[in-house]
Amino acid sequence: MLDVVIIGGSSAGLSAALILGRSLRDVVVIDDHKPCNRFSHASHGFLTRDGISPSELIQIAYDQLERYPTVTRKPATALHIEKNATGFEISSSDASKLQARIVLLATGLHDELPPLEGIEGLWGKSVFHCPY
């Protein structure tokens, strides 16, 4: 039985994993590697890392999490969560099931693009989802 399953492996989910790992909690981070800021060239507003690329920020987080053996990353998509007597059962896209006392959702946002021809190619380059 895991202490925590974190669904979402971007900034919020990995920050939570870092704190929980430092607290010696058994944690699995389930992530499909599709962060909402993947179209941005830079991430802003993050202390000591203003202007860093989102992928570089995530790689730094991965490197730091390697110091904590109780934290595991699982490249998958969470498909189903079911409450049971001891916590939760989480089914994922790799056909595995995890048991955890706590589930932390850190899935971020899903951008809904307006139905404008050609916007996909401009998204995050000259059409921005936020000013930060």
Higher pLDDT, 2 or 118: 2
Q: Tell me which residue of 81, 109, 108, 103 sits closest to 29, measured CA to CA.
A: 103
Choosing among 3.50.50.60, 3.10.180.10, 3.40.50.10860, 3.40.50.450, the CATH entry for 2-122 is 3.50.50.60
Give me the chain's average pLDDT, please. Answer: 90
Q: What is the mean pLDDT of residues 50-69?
A: 94
Question: Residue 129: is its pLDDT beyond 70?
Answer: no
Q: Which two tokens stand for residue 61?
A: 């987080």
pTM for the model stands at 0.83
Mean pLDDT lowest for which of 18-27, 86-95, 113-122? 113-122
User: Max Cα separation, the chain?
Assistant: 50
C-alpha pair distances (Å), 75 with each of 7, 31, 78, 113, 115 = 11, 5, 10, 26, 31
